[in-house]
Structure 1
Amino acid sequence: MSGLRFSSFNEALGEPEQDANSALTELDIGLRSGRVGEQCEAIVRFPRLFEKYPFPILINSSFLKLADVFRVGNNFLRLWVLRVCQQSEKHLDKILNVDEFVRRIFSVIHANDPVARSLTLQTLGSIAGVIPERQQVHHSIRRSLDSHDSVEVEAAIYAAMQFAAQSKTFALGMCDKISDMIRGIATPAHMKLLLIPILQHMHHDTSTATMVRKVCTDLLAKYPAKDFVVTTLNTLTKLAAATLVDIPSQVELLLNYLIEDKRWSVKKASLLGLHQMAKVGPHLWPAHCVVEAIRVARTSTHQGVVSYTLDIFIVLTQSSIICKEYVESDSELMQLCQETCNSSNSMVSAKSVKIITHMVNYCFEEGLPVSDVEEHISTVESLLLLQISCKDNNEIGDYVLKIVLQCAITLCRTHRPLANRYVDLIATQITNVSGKHLRILCEALGGIAGLEPHALKFQDLTELPEEEAPTAVMLATLIFQTVPPSKWNALHQATIDIILKRTDYWGHYKIGRAAARYGNFQVSSTIWDELTCKVSSEHSHFWLMALVHISKAENALSSSSSLLDRLGESLTSYHKCIAALRAGSSPSNTLGFQCEYASLRCELLQCFHQLVSGCHSLCFAPPPAIAVTTVTNTRDELQRCGHVTNQLRKCAKEFRQCGDMYWKLYQNAFDADPATLTNIQIMQHVCMVMAHSIDTCAQWKYQGDEPALNLSSQDISLESQLMFEASKTAGSLTDHLDKSIKNIVSHQHIDCLMSQVDILVRSPLCLPRYFFQTLQSTSVKLAVTPQPRVNGEWITVTSGSQLAVKVEGVIQHGAKPGLFRSVEKVIVTLNTQPTAKPNALDKIPETTLNLTQTVIPHRDFFSAQFLVSLGPGSVQATVTVGALVVDQTGVVWQTGQKSTLTLKQHEDPISRTH
């Protein structure tokens, strides 16, 4: 069931795959059916068609067909067409024939049926983004606002709301009309409540915004009813958030209603409005308003007012201006937090602690002295102990415990010395809790242990009660974080065995995954080997076999055999792993990153193997008799060392090539999490370190700079720290070489290189998270025009002319778009490469064409156009179109998406004769 994609229309599931034209043809047949049910079924399936094939030609054709149904169908069909337009908002700007589409929809506005007219107005409102300045639509909305039918008026209000948000002209033109209707006695009260929110969009110029604000403030005095006050305050808040200049006055207005009005709904609306003002412009808050808000929270007896006010200050204290003003212990805000942190309401206490955490973090980050820092930290600890001792495992208690633990982790991240203190506190209490609280505490321990690897001790995890599977998996992960592979012993293994007995097969897999992520392949190999026969899918079986082989390969590197034997055994297992990964891939899950990562690790180990073999040649391959002559001819003193010199230089070149391949893998990993990218950077750095070390020993007067990795051990995750420290240790060995030994590859040089290899090989490889999980999914879908009528045929180009190539693309996202990075720009590339004709006697013209165009996606859609010229004469060429994406920081990433065309140009008989 995980592979099925549900639509909001409950469309048929499990339908067979088909191309866009076939799918559109099938839906067109349904639209032309004489049965209303079949027509409705066809209409509601259009949103899924747009998501699957989001290209302008198909969308334009589909919407024109839907507009025809809207024009000639009944109101029930019109309702479903309206729903399609509302759900497909991001595809509306791909309609090419907008005029024709609007004409067919707009024709129904002249119907005698008010329901048909109201559906037309709502449909026009739903497409306001593509027709914001259509005067005839503006006029129809204005006319329908004066209708005597309430259904039509409400539809006109909806359309007015949509157009006011899109069109400055409409907003300015309707401002007086809306104001008059709101003030008018003839307008019913419920209509006025619908009309007031339209005013929030009247912010296109200062004068209009000022007039609208005056109208709304007048309404507050004239209509004191609860619903009117709440609606008007919400409208004014959104208007101020858009204009920014009215934030100070809006904050004062909301505070006035918060203090003066006794109705809870009005107080709540005021507090929510202040919260939004804090998000938009905390630096624009008047100082006396901040003091007044603090006073309200300190004097109010209503817990809701206090809680919402603390929410406001949680947002405000994220601004350095507020923190700087109220950081002192005797400030009004800190006094408020001290008064409320021991409240009987646990949620209020947690929010106070969060504000204190923001203030303390500000001081740590800015390097300011923190007054009463011990008292603040003790406050966090006290609330943490109170929540842990609370036996009521309800949702509120769990949420409060999470807030306090997040504060603790934030403090530890800002000030690392606190990690040991909080770990000891949590570890001493972890044996006294159970259920969901235990899992939450384990997650917090994992978060802190990831910051400070030696803060958590294995003894803290040995006396835990039996718990449910998710908690048991978390405990196993904590053990892997605590105990490095080099210190693994029978006691640790026995604890893992006990945890494995509490979990199912899926829990076993997750424990094995955690072991591999922290470099403990001895444990993961055993677990995955037992699971290979417990799966029902062939792809899953090969995936597990690949994990078994990669575990055995990495485990072999830490054995007691000779270096060459260890590398040889590991390489054998890695080749089996790569074969299993390719066998386990499927069209839906290609395992591309996994295959490439394993292949590059195999390539790196092969470089190590070649280096060790080359180092051994210093002993068994002495310099040849012509070494002196070679030195004279090449002016390279190191050639007198013979075979080993060239072997080492070849190894340095191979390490650099391997590093370049790691960089290409980095560029292709757009969706990878930051820890995975750090992992790849470290692997590339290892290659560069080895190449530099070899060149230092085997290059004549080598002056290259030592490669640098701009990472700090505090900035990288725990699973990458072991690899990072190993690369630093290996790189520092060259600093101890005897500088007096020159013009020779000595045994000291060889011993240094062998020691570097041994350190890097024994250092555990921690498989990155992206190897197992894809938290963000982004893909680029390309459509190139023209296309041959039959796949594999040539596209004919007239000699002396240029071919127009249009590239359209769609950026498709998974469940969490933009989790790590998002696409800001797309670089479309077009390359032409001449190809030889069969049995051709003429030489191929050396004319290649490389074109690029940078475009900005709009609603995840982009397009680019190129003119391709193949040059004079009879030419056959291959055109390759690709796309690179640029993220929000300006980094260019490879997507791997390419489309290929084959072109053939007619021979020019006249030029051929000459």
Structure 2
Amino acid sequence: MDGFSYIIQQFDRGIQSRLISEQLATVVNTVSLVKKNPFPNLVNSMVVRLSEHFVSGPNSLRGAIARSLSQMEEQLLLVFSHNEVCRRLLVVSHSNDPIARAHTLFALSSIAVIAKENKEVHTFVVDSLSSSHKEEFNGACSALAAFCRLSTEFTRTVLAQISEYLLSSTSPIERKIQIVSIFSHIQSDQESSHSIFALGAKLFELNTDLTFLSTLLSSLTSLAILTRFSILDQLSLLLSVLSSTVDCSPPLSFVALSNISRLANHAHVWTKEHISRLGEYRHRLTHDEDVCCALLHTLEVLGRRRLPSHMGVLQEILSEMSPLYSHDSLKIRASFIAFSTHVFVSSPSDLHRQNLLNSISSSLSVPLPTKIGVKISKVAGVFLTNDAVSDEEGLLLVSSLCKLPLSHSNVTLFLHLFCLLSQKRRAFVPPISKWARDAIQTPSSSSLSPSQLSFLAFPPFAAEKEVDVSPFNKLPYTILFEIVRSGFRNGHWRSISMPLLKSMTKLSLSCGTRDYLVALSQLAQSQSRKCTVSDVQSSVALLALSKRSFIKLSRSSLNPLQSFCYRYVEALEKTRQAQMQLMSTLTVFVSFPSPDGPPLSIRPISFRIFEVLQSCLPILSQSISEWSLLLRRSFDGDDHSIDLISLEMYSASILVYGVKCIMESDAPNLPLLPPLSSDSVIINETRSLLLWAASSMQQLAGRQGIVTTKTLDHFFSVFRHMYTRPVFIPRLFFQPTRRTTIKLSVSPGAEGELTVSPSIPVPIRLDGVISTSRKTKIEAIIVSANIHYYSARGRDRVEVRRVETHDGNFFTAQFLLKFEESAQMDISVELVDGEKRKTWLSDASTTLRVDVNM
């Protein structure tokens, strides 16, 4: 019995139990079973069985089935017997029990994704809208919303009845609100959309209930954003509503402005007249705090879009509202600072720069409510990291904040702001680092995050002698680990991470956790200190130990880790091995004069240097390949992590380039700096160092094969800077911000084994489901089947299929293969993302053993 048959057998046993509690438990567990095994045959069988028991079960079971179906919307796309499922559910629609009909409507709304074109379902939902029973009407509204969101034809069918119901004076206002809220996600063509907006205009004139009007305006705005072609009409309607309510109904004015700010995200359709008309209300809205803040937020969103045609009007409005820089209301002041900052970023002005510096400084120096303080500190980060603000002006503001006592109520905001600033501009690092070190030594700073303080106190490129981690030794394990992580990410492996890891291993920990800390400790000890052969040999040995530890951990069920950890250490180990071989061979030929001694003699070197350098090229090229492979496996990496890996690969390329400059008579091509997506002190400083190294290596080119001690000394001087530079562990190593998993199922052969007859084509199908937290769409899947014959290795072959994903998360690849002898088929998967069109390697793989029955 294969795995799917066993799952279905267990389901049948539970759902057919005499105890209703066991039946309910089985239904609830179905959701997790389907999500763990999202393959068409299994999902289809489970959903069909649920629909069978929906017909025969009591209302409690029907409700549980409806809720379970609503939790497996993605997996329902795999159901292929949807007509059969709908037919069985509709059997209950003829029941005299309104509760049973309500459960049917909720179940149909849950499976709308596969029933959206079923006419019988459409008819039942429309008829149920006239029900007087509350539960049945709620179910009808739920189904109405689900089907309108997916089917344009259903929207056309139901629109006339909805209009009649909403325009009727006898319809309860509560039910009208329920139906109007459906407009926000409706799927419609242009004709239906115009009908809905015309209906909305009538409803606005006929109703006075604030809740109804608020829901109506919000729903129409959502529909306008969804259809795009109605944005201008909706904007004109909202501006008219604002004009008629600005003096008499602040709550409705606030609703209108809130919806206008949503349309501001589509600033490309706005005209200067729209913005000018909105700006006319700037003096009439300041008496109400919420309404004024809504106006300022709308202007902020428009400023954030930075459209050149809008900036002139926005600058005029900003200048006329300048008194708000010092407004008594902190909420209004914060909103105005945000608006001013985004206009300033697009169109810098000396006057507004000084006003912003003063306003931000004065605002942050007084106690602030949490929400307002967070907003001002975020905007301050955007302002201070802008190039239009000089280092001197920014340092004055940062220094004034550093001088405030650590007992200040906004000190947590300062900490977050300083973390942002220290990553963006190196000029801010010294005062912030001193502030953080003082805070560590001050007892009153115990409320501040130790990991963030350590991140600031020991910034990247700080001298090792400045680091003292003794104040952290008595902190809890979780906080210590955060500090360890900061040490690795800031390049302080030995000085921060290693001593803390040694103290942490003395704690009472699980075996898996202890092994993980040991692996990290070995990695920390491998950090380079001096450019000597003994140092690099020690580093290589420690990296080898760390790699073995991470490989063991990645295979452990007690402490599973991403494969990225050991692959990163493996790439670093390969780089160190290449550096060790290069250093070992070159030190024979390189002289080391005293800084105060006589200049180097320029004497030719033996031709044996060419043989030595030639022997180093293969392992140097391997190190580039390791980083390149790691980069292709970093699909879940954030931009900063990917940039760090790219720079390590570029560093290895520079060494290869330098060796070729010495060996070849013609100048080789200079390696290109890979495109970088992030902007931080670490990235910028590392990039500058590597560009300098590449430029320095370029000076060795074109010497017509003549090598002197001066040539090698120059090379070795550049090499020393590259070897001793800090290496920054990417965030992906510790905490991936995204997670992508791929589950595979092979049929036939679900258990990994398949018996076939010789020379007869066998259809093999691979079903896969992708679960990802990335917003980038996966456009295509490349499936590779490596076929290895046990007794005839020379006949091994690779079959490749490129398939499109359907519904974004599912894919199917089919093979028609002949096997003359027993073989093993290793299947691997690559991803093609829809944004950068890059091909990424995944960890998803499966093996099928094929036995040929002679």
**TM-score normalized by the length of structure 1:** 0.85
Q: 1:167-182 to 2 correspondence within 5 Å?
A: 167-182=151-166
Task: Quote the residue 1:709 is aligned against.
Answer: 673
Residues 473 and 503 in structure 2, CA contact (< 8 A), matched pair in contact too: no
Asked if 1:298 is matched to 2:247, the reply is no
Any idea what SS the aligned residue of 1:317 has? Answer: helix
Q: Write the distance in 2 (CA, Å) between the matches of 1:757 and 1:30.
A: 68
Report which stretch shifted further, 230-239 or 67-76. 230-239
* Equivalent residue letter for 1:825: E
Following superposition, the deviation at residue 894 of structure 1 comes to 0.4
Helix, strand or coil for the counterpart of 1:414?
coil
Aligned residue pair count:
828
CA deviation after TM superposition for structure 1 residue 654, in Å: 1.5
Say whether residues 1:241 and 2:187 are aligned partners: no
Partner of 2:847: 900
In the superposition, relative to structure 1, how do residues 121 and 50 fare at CA in structure 2: closer, same or farther (>3 Å)?
same
After superposition, the C-alpha distances for 1:404-446 in whole angstroms (9 at most, x for unaligned) are 2222322343317534533442233234243762232122122
Q: Does 1:374 align with 2:333?
A: no
- 2:258 counterpart residue number: 272
* Structure-2 separation of matches of 1:461 and 1:609: 38
Matching residue of 1:6: none
Shift in Å, 1:704: 1.9
2:364 to 371, 385, 388: 388
Structure 1 contact 881–898 (Cα < 8 Å) conserved: yes
Give the match for residue 734 of structure 1: 697
- 1:326 equivalent in alignment to 2:302: no
Distance 1:470 1:822, change over 3 A: farther
Q: Please tell me the residue identity of whatever aligns with 1:156.
A: A
- Is the counterpart of residue 574 in structure 1 residue 543 in structure 2? yes
Structure 1 residue 536 displacement after superposition: 0.9
Secondary structure at 2:117's aligned position in 1? coil
Judged with a 3 Å threshold, the aligned counterparts in structure 2 of structure 1 residues 230 and 600 are, in CA distance, closer, same or farther, namely closer
1:781 aligns with 2:743: yes
Deviation of 1:889 (Å):
1.6
Whether the 8 Å CA contact 1:826–1:856 is kept in 2: the answer is yes
Deviation of residue 856 (structure 1)? 2.3
> Is the aligned partner of 1:317 residue 2:303?
yes
CA deviations over 1:723-746 (Å, ceiling 9, x no partner): 43443343333344495x534443
Which of the residues 782, 804, 814 maps onto 1:855? 804
Any residues of structure 2 matched to 1:886-897 within 5 Å, and which? 886-887=832-833, 888-897=835-844
Provide the rounded CA distance (Å) in 1 between the counterparts of 2:194 and 2:691. Answer: 63
SS class of match (2:114): coil
- Show CA shifts across 1:290-334 (max 9, x none): 2232222321221111111112122222233376443675x1344
- 1:23-42 CA distance string (max 9 Å, x none): 55434322111122221222
Q: Deviations over 1:787-828 (max 9, x none)?
A: 166x5x4431452x4322211111123xxx22xx63422323
Give the 3-state SS of the residue equivalent to 1:253 in structure 2: helix
The 1:196–1:640 alpha-carbon spacing in structure 2 relative to 1, beyond 3 Å, is closer
> CA–CA distance in 2 between the matches of 1:659 and 1:845?
30
- The equivalent of 2:22 in structure 1 is 38
Contact 2:98–2:133 (CA<8 Å) still a contact in 1? yes
CA contact (8 A) 2:14 2:26 kept: yes
Answer whether contact 2:383 2:389 (CA < 8 A) is retained.
Answer: no
**1:227 Cα shift?**
3.5
Match of 2:501 in 1: 528
Structure 1 portions without partners, runs of 5+ = 1-17, 364-369, 621-638, 838-842, 908-914
Within the candidate set 55, 75, 84, 1:100 is matched to 84
Alignment equivalent of 1:113, drawn from 82, 89, 97: 97
Q: 1:722 to 1:619 in 2, by over 3 A?
A: closer
* Counterpart-to-counterpart distance in 2, 1:738 and 1:849: 42
Question: Residue 53 of structure 2 is aligned with which of 69, 74, 83?
Answer: 69
Whole-Å separation in 1 of the counterparts to 2:516 and 2:793: 46
CA contact (8 A) 2:367 2:410 kept: no
The whole-number CA distance in structure 1 between the counterparts of 2:680 and 2:12 is 54
Paired position in structure 2 for 1:673: 638
Counterparts of 1:351 and 1:857 in 2: how far apart (Å)?
44
Structure-to-structure mapping, 1:567-606, within 5 angstroms: 567-585=536-554, 586-587=556-557, 588-606=559-577
- Range 100-109 or range 765-774, more displaced: 765-774
Q: What residue number does 1:767 align with? A: 729
What secondary structure sits across from 2:742 in the alignment?
strand
SS of the aligned residue for 2:781 comes to strand
Contact kept in structure 2, 1:469 and 1:502, CA below 8 Å: no
Partner of 2:376: 404
Equivalent residue number for residue 156 of structure 1: 140
Q: Indicate conservation of the 8 Å contact 2:184/2:220, yes or no.
A: yes
In 2: Cα distance, 1:72 partner to 1:66 partner: 10
CA deviations over 1:515-536 (Å, ceiling 9, x no partner): 2222222232222112111141
Give the alignment's Cα RMSD to 1 decimal: 2.9
SS state at 1:45 partner = helix
Map residues 778-817 of structure 1 onto 2, 5 A cutoff.
778-787=740-749, 791=752, 793-799=753-759, 801-813=760-772, 817=773
Please report the TM-score for the alignment, with normalisation by the length of structure 2. Answer: 0.90
Task: Specify the code of the residue in structure 2 equivalent to 1:105.
Answer: L
Q: What displacement does 1:673 show?
A: 1.9
Contact 1:679 1:768 in 2 (8 A): yes
Local SS of the residue matching 2:537: helix
Structure 2 match to 1:222: 206
Contact 1:202–1:212 (CA<8 Å) still a contact in 2? Answer: no
Counterparts of 1:417 and 1:198, CA distance in 2: 47
Shift of 1:359: 1.0
CA distance in 2, matches of 1:523, 1:242: 52
- Distance change (3 Å), C-alpha of 1:205 and 1:732: closer
Aligned-pair CA distance for 1:108: 0.5
Distance, in Å, in 2 between the alignment partners of 1:591 and 1:182 is: 55
Q: Tell me how far apart the structure 2 counterparts of residues 228 and 509 of structure 1 sit (CA, whole Å).
A: 52
8 Å contact kept, 1:469–1:503: no
SS at match of 2:827: strand
String of CA shifts for 1:457-496, please: whole Å, max 9, x gaps.
Answer: 25444544431264333222112217x34x333xx345x4
Matched, 1:611 2:582: yes
Q: Is the 8 A contact 1:294 1:333 kept in 2?
A: no
Shift of 1:398: 2.6
SS of equivalent residue, structure 1 residue 129: helix
1:437 is matched with which residue: 395, 402, 410? 410
Greater RCO (Cα-Cα under 8 Å, separation 6 or more):
2
Residues 56/469 of structure 1: CA separation in 2 closer, same or farther (3 Å cut): farther
Q: 2:718 maps to what in 1?
A: 756
Residue aligning to 2:595? none
Q: Distance in 1 between matches of 2:236 and 2:381?
A: 36
Q: Deviations over 1:722-779 (max 9, x none)?
A: 543443343333344495x534443233323332332222212222222222222112
Deviations 1:236-278 (A, max 9, x none): 3233223333322322222222232334443333222212222
Q: For residues 744 and 225 of structure 2, what CA distance do their matches in structure 1 show?
A: 39
1:515 to 487, 492, 512: 487
**2:693 partner letter:** A
Distance in 2 between residues matched to 1:446 and 1:512, nearest whole Å: 17
CA contact 1:316–1:322 (8 Å) conserved in 2: no
